[in-house]
Protein backbone atom coordinates (compact mmCIF):
# COMPACT_ATOMS: atom_id res chain seq x y z
CA UNK A 1 0.00 0.00 0.00
CA UNK A 2 2.85 2.36 0.92
CA UNK A 3 4.43 1.71 -2.45
CA UNK A 4 1.20 2.62 -4.24
CA UNK A 5 0.95 5.75 -2.13
CA UNK A 6 4.51 6.71 -3.00
CA UNK A 7 3.87 6.12 -6.70
CA UNK A 8 0.79 8.30 -6.46
CA UNK A 9 2.79 11.05 -4.74
CA UNK A 10 5.57 10.82 -7.35
CA UNK A 11 2.99 10.91 -10.16
CA UNK A 12 1.38 13.91 -8.51
CA UNK A 13 4.72 15.72 -8.36
CA UNK A 14 5.48 14.83 -11.99
CA UNK A 15 2.07 16.11 -13.04
CA UNK A 16 2.58 19.28 -10.98
CA UNK A 17 6.01 19.99 -12.46
CA UNK A 18 4.81 19.05 -15.93
CA UNK A 19 1.93 21.49 -15.60
CA UNK A 20 4.31 24.15 -14.28
CA UNK A 21 6.69 23.55 -17.17
CA UNK A 22 3.89 23.82 -19.72
CA UNK A 23 2.67 27.05 -18.14
CA UNK A 24 6.19 28.46 -18.20
CA UNK A 25 6.56 27.43 -21.82
CA UNK A 26 3.23 29.06 -22.68
CA UNK A 27 4.25 32.30 -20.97
CA UNK A 28 7.63 32.17 -22.67
CA UNK A 29 5.98 31.89 -26.08
CA UNK A 30 3.74 34.84 -25.17
CA UNK A 31 6.74 36.89 -24.04
CA UNK A 32 8.66 36.07 -27.24
CA UNK A 33 5.70 37.08 -29.42
CA UNK A 34 5.12 40.26 -27.39
CA UNK A 35 8.83 41.10 -27.65
CA UNK A 36 8.72 40.53 -31.40
CA UNK A 37 5.82 42.96 -31.86
CA UNK A 38 7.37 45.42 -29.42
CA UNK A 39 10.67 45.30 -31.35
CA UNK A 40 8.78 45.71 -34.61
CA UNK A 41 7.00 48.77 -33.20
CA UNK A 42 10.27 50.28 -32.00
CA UNK A 43 11.92 49.57 -35.37
CA UNK A 44 9.07 51.31 -37.20
CA UNK A 45 9.18 54.28 -34.84
CA UNK A 46 12.97 54.49 -35.18
CA UNK A 47 12.74 54.32 -38.97
CA UNK A 48 10.13 57.06 -38.89
CA UNK A 49 12.40 59.32 -36.81
CA UNK A 50 15.41 58.57 -39.01
CA UNK A 51 13.36 59.58 -42.05
CA UNK A 52 12.25 62.75 -40.24
CA UNK A 53 15.87 63.68 -39.48
CA UNK A 54 16.88 63.02 -43.07
CA UNK A 55 19.33 60.28 -42.13
CA UNK A 56 17.99 57.71 -44.62
CA UNK A 57 19.28 58.77 -48.04
CA UNK A 58 16.58 57.27 -50.22
CA UNK A 59 13.86 59.35 -48.56
CA UNK A 60 15.69 62.65 -49.00
CA UNK A 61 14.70 63.38 -52.57
CA UNK A 62 10.95 63.04 -53.08
CA UNK A 63 9.53 63.43 -56.58
CA UNK A 64 6.55 65.17 -55.04
CA UNK A 65 5.48 66.61 -58.41
CA UNK A 66 4.19 63.11 -59.22
CA UNK A 67 1.67 63.55 -56.41
CA UNK A 68 -0.66 66.06 -58.01
CA UNK A 69 -3.62 65.54 -55.70
CA UNK A 70 -3.65 64.02 -52.22
CA UNK A 71 -6.72 62.98 -50.25
CA UNK A 72 -6.79 62.48 -46.51
CA UNK A 73 -9.57 60.49 -44.87
CA UNK A 74 -9.98 61.08 -41.16
CA UNK A 75 -12.34 59.13 -38.95
CA UNK A 76 -15.06 61.46 -37.70
CA UNK A 77 -14.12 61.06 -34.02
CA UNK A 78 -10.55 62.08 -34.82
CA UNK A 79 -11.67 64.92 -37.08
CA UNK A 80 -12.33 67.00 -33.95
CA UNK A 81 -8.57 67.12 -33.32
CA UNK A 82 -8.14 70.21 -35.46
CA UNK A 83 -4.65 70.93 -34.15
CA UNK A 84 -3.48 67.54 -35.45
CA UNK A 85 -5.06 68.21 -38.84
CA UNK A 86 -3.34 71.60 -39.04
CA UNK A 87 0.01 70.05 -38.10
CA UNK A 88 -0.49 67.40 -40.78
CA UNK A 89 -1.28 70.03 -43.40
CA UNK A 90 1.77 72.03 -42.34
CA UNK A 91 3.94 68.94 -42.85
CA UNK A 92 2.41 68.44 -46.30
CA UNK A 93 3.09 72.07 -47.18
CA UNK A 94 6.72 71.63 -46.08
CA UNK A 95 7.03 68.50 -48.21
CA UNK A 96 5.67 70.45 -51.18
CA UNK A 97 2.22 68.92 -51.65
CA UNK A 98 0.06 71.51 -53.40
CA UNK A 99 -3.45 70.09 -53.53
CA UNK A 100 -5.16 68.32 -50.65
CA UNK A 101 -8.69 67.04 -50.12
CA UNK A 102 -9.74 66.55 -46.49
CA UNK A 103 -12.57 64.09 -45.91
CA UNK A 104 -14.53 62.87 -42.94
CA UNK A 105 -17.95 61.26 -43.04
CA UNK A 106 -19.83 63.67 -40.82
CA UNK A 107 -18.47 66.85 -42.39
CA UNK A 108 -16.74 68.00 -39.19
CA UNK A 109 -13.73 69.23 -41.17
CA UNK A 110 -16.06 71.12 -43.52
CA UNK A 111 -17.47 72.99 -40.55
CA UNK A 112 -13.95 73.87 -39.39
CA UNK A 113 -12.69 74.89 -42.83
CA UNK A 114 -12.42 78.63 -42.12
CA UNK A 115 -10.39 77.97 -38.99
CA UNK A 116 -8.13 75.48 -40.81
CA UNK A 117 -7.63 77.80 -43.80
CA UNK A 118 -6.67 80.63 -41.46
CA UNK A 119 -4.14 78.50 -39.60
CA UNK A 120 -2.37 76.93 -42.58
CA UNK A 121 -0.01 79.45 -44.17
CA UNK A 122 -1.03 80.46 -47.68
CA UNK A 123 -3.81 77.87 -47.95
CA UNK A 124 -6.77 78.67 -50.18
CA UNK A 125 -10.05 76.89 -50.74
CA UNK A 126 -10.18 74.63 -53.77
CA UNK A 127 -12.47 76.06 -56.43
CA UNK A 128 -11.86 79.68 -55.54
CA UNK A 129 -8.67 79.89 -57.57
CA UNK A 130 -9.41 77.20 -60.13
CA UNK A 131 -11.71 77.50 -63.04
CA UNK A 132 -12.91 74.22 -64.51
CA UNK A 133 -11.30 72.35 -61.60
CA UNK A 134 -7.85 72.48 -63.18
CA UNK A 135 -4.93 71.81 -60.90
CA UNK A 136 -2.54 74.64 -61.66
CA UNK A 137 0.98 74.88 -60.32
CA UNK A 138 1.21 77.59 -57.72
CA UNK A 139 2.97 78.54 -54.54
CA UNK A 140 0.10 78.17 -52.10
CA UNK A 141 -1.71 75.01 -51.02
CA UNK A 142 -5.29 74.46 -52.14
CA UNK A 143 -7.64 72.64 -49.79
CA UNK A 144 -10.87 70.87 -50.63
CA UNK A 145 -13.26 69.71 -47.91
CA UNK A 146 -15.49 66.72 -48.53
CA UNK A 147 -17.93 64.60 -46.55
CA UNK A 148 -20.30 61.68 -47.06
CA UNK A 149 -22.80 63.87 -48.91
CA UNK A 150 -20.21 64.43 -51.66
CA UNK A 151 -20.16 60.69 -52.31
CA UNK A 152 -23.23 58.58 -52.92
CA UNK A 153 -25.66 61.41 -52.28
CA UNK A 154 -23.88 63.55 -54.85
CA UNK A 155 -24.05 60.76 -57.44
CA UNK A 156 -27.80 60.53 -56.83
CA UNK A 157 -28.14 64.31 -57.31
CA UNK A 158 -26.04 64.18 -60.47
CA UNK A 159 -28.20 61.32 -61.72
CA UNK A 160 -31.26 63.52 -61.15
CA UNK A 161 -29.66 66.26 -63.27
CA UNK A 162 -29.16 63.74 -66.06
CA UNK A 163 -32.68 62.34 -65.69
CA UNK A 164 -34.16 65.81 -66.08
CA UNK A 165 -32.08 66.32 -69.20
CA UNK A 166 -33.15 62.90 -70.47
CA UNK A 167 -36.85 63.42 -69.78
CA UNK A 168 -36.88 66.96 -71.24
CA UNK A 169 -35.18 65.74 -74.40
CA UNK A 170 -38.14 63.38 -74.85
CA UNK A 171 -35.73 60.71 -75.99
CA UNK A 172 -37.17 57.31 -76.54
CA UNK A 173 -34.54 55.55 -78.57
CA UNK A 174 -31.72 53.55 -77.04
CA UNK A 175 -29.00 55.68 -78.64
CA UNK A 176 -30.19 58.87 -76.99
CA UNK A 177 -30.29 57.21 -73.59
CA UNK A 178 -26.81 55.78 -74.10
CA UNK A 179 -25.56 59.19 -75.19
CA UNK A 180 -26.78 60.94 -72.03
CA UNK A 181 -25.90 58.28 -69.51
CA UNK A 182 -22.17 57.96 -69.96
CA UNK A 183 -19.30 58.19 -67.48
CA UNK A 184 -18.21 61.57 -68.85
CA UNK A 185 -21.78 62.90 -68.62
CA UNK A 186 -21.94 61.76 -65.00
CA UNK A 187 -18.62 63.48 -64.26
CA UNK A 188 -19.94 66.70 -65.80
CA UNK A 189 -23.17 66.45 -63.83
CA UNK A 190 -21.16 66.00 -60.62
CA UNK A 191 -19.22 69.18 -61.44
CA UNK A 192 -22.43 71.15 -61.97
CA UNK A 193 -23.65 70.24 -58.49
CA UNK A 194 -20.26 71.11 -56.97
CA UNK A 195 -18.99 67.61 -56.20
CA UNK A 196 -16.77 67.02 -59.18
CA UNK A 197 -13.28 67.31 -57.77
CA UNK A 198 -10.35 65.54 -59.40
CA UNK A 199 -9.32 61.94 -58.72
CA UNK A 200 -6.70 61.82 -55.96
CA UNK A 201 -3.45 60.06 -56.78
CA UNK A 202 -2.99 58.98 -53.17
CA UNK A 203 -5.46 58.56 -50.32
CA UNK A 204 -4.17 58.38 -46.74
CA UNK A 205 -6.57 56.93 -44.17
CA UNK A 206 -6.13 58.07 -40.57
CA UNK A 207 -8.11 56.14 -37.98
CA UNK A 208 -8.71 52.60 -36.74
CA UNK A 209 -10.80 51.36 -39.67
CA UNK A 210 -8.99 50.05 -42.75
CA UNK A 211 -11.49 51.33 -45.25
CA UNK A 212 -12.05 54.63 -47.00
CA UNK A 213 -15.21 55.39 -44.98
CA UNK A 214 -17.34 56.42 -47.93
CA UNK A 215 -14.91 58.78 -49.67
CA UNK A 216 -16.55 59.78 -53.00
CA UNK A 217 -16.40 56.49 -54.90
CA UNK A 218 -16.55 58.15 -58.31
CA UNK A 219 -13.14 59.67 -57.66
CA UNK A 220 -11.03 56.74 -56.43
CA UNK A 221 -10.86 54.52 -59.49
CA UNK A 222 -7.04 54.35 -59.56
CA UNK A 223 -6.21 55.99 -56.26
CA UNK A 224 -3.48 54.39 -54.16
CA UNK A 225 -4.89 53.75 -50.67
CA UNK A 226 -2.62 53.67 -47.62
CA UNK A 227 -3.73 53.09 -44.03
CA UNK A 228 -1.73 55.35 -41.71
CA UNK A 229 -3.02 54.33 -38.28
CA UNK A 230 -4.60 56.64 -35.68
CA UNK A 231 -4.25 60.39 -36.17
CA UNK A 232 -3.05 60.87 -32.60
CA UNK A 233 0.07 58.82 -33.31
CA UNK A 234 0.81 60.33 -36.74
CA UNK A 235 4.47 60.65 -37.64
CA UNK A 236 6.24 62.85 -40.16
CA UNK A 237 8.48 59.94 -41.17
CA UNK A 238 5.47 57.72 -41.93
CA UNK A 239 4.04 60.45 -44.13
CA UNK A 240 7.31 60.80 -46.06
CA UNK A 241 7.51 57.02 -46.41
CA UNK A 242 3.95 56.76 -47.78
CA UNK A 243 4.55 59.54 -50.32
CA UNK A 244 7.94 58.08 -51.28
CA UNK A 245 6.37 54.67 -51.84
CA UNK A 246 3.65 56.25 -54.00
CA UNK A 247 6.18 58.07 -56.19
CA UNK A 248 7.78 54.72 -57.04
CA UNK A 249 4.53 53.00 -58.03
CA UNK A 250 4.09 52.07 -61.67
CA UNK A 251 0.43 51.88 -62.69
CA UNK A 252 -0.48 50.05 -65.88
CA UNK A 253 -4.22 50.91 -66.00
CA UNK A 254 -5.37 47.45 -67.02
CA UNK A 255 -2.61 46.79 -69.58
Q: Which residues bind another protein (CB under 8 A)?
A: 75-76, 105-106, 148, 151-153, 155-156, 159-160, 162-164, 166-167, 172, 177-178, 180-183, 186, 207-215, 217-218, 220-227, 249, 251, 253-255
Measured from the CB atom, is 118 or 209 closer to another protein? 209
CB of 248 to another protein, least distance (A): 12
CB of 2 to another protein, least distance (A): 46
CB of 192 to another protein, least distance (A): 15
- By C-alpha distance, which of 137, 123, 147 is closest to 68? 137
Measured from the CB atom, is 62 or 125 closer to another protein? 62
Q: What are the distances in angstroms from CA 51 to CA 60, 236, 241, 242?
A: 8, 8, 8, 11
Q: What are the distances in angstroms from CA 153 to CA 106, 149, 188, 194?
A: 13, 5, 16, 12
CB of 220 to another protein, least distance (A): 7
CB of 90 to another protein, least distance (A): 25
* Non-local CB neighbours of 32 within 8 Å, separated by 6+ positions: none
Measured from the CB atom, is 58 or 210 closer to another protein? 210
Residue 10 CA, chain-centre distance (Å), reads 62
CB of 167 to another protein, least distance (A): 7
**For the range 154-163, what are the long-range contacts, defined as Cβ-Cβ under 8 Å and sequence gap of 24 or more?**
154/190, 154/193, 154/195, 154/216, 154/218, 155/186, 155/190, 155/217, 155/218, 157/193, 157/195, 158/186, 158/189, 158/190, 158/192, 158/193, 158/195, 159/186, 159/189, 161/189, 161/192, 161/193, 162/186, 162/189
Q: How far apart are CA 220 and CA 200, in angstroms?
A: 7
Measured from the CB atom, is 97 or 108 closer to another protein? 108
Measured from the CB atom, is 134 or 255 closer to another protein? 255
Measured from the CB atom, is 123 or 246 closer to another protein? 246
Measured from the CB atom, is 133 or 176 closer to another protein? 176
CB of 140 to another protein, least distance (A): 29
Element spanning 178, H or E: helix 174-180
Amino acid sequence: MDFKKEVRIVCGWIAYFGDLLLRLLWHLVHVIISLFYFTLGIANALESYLISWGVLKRYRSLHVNKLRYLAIVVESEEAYETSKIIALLQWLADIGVKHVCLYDMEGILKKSKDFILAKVDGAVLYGETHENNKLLDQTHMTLEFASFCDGKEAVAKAANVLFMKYVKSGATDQNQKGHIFTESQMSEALKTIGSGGPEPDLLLVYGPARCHLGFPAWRIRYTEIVHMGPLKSMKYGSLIKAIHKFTRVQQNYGK
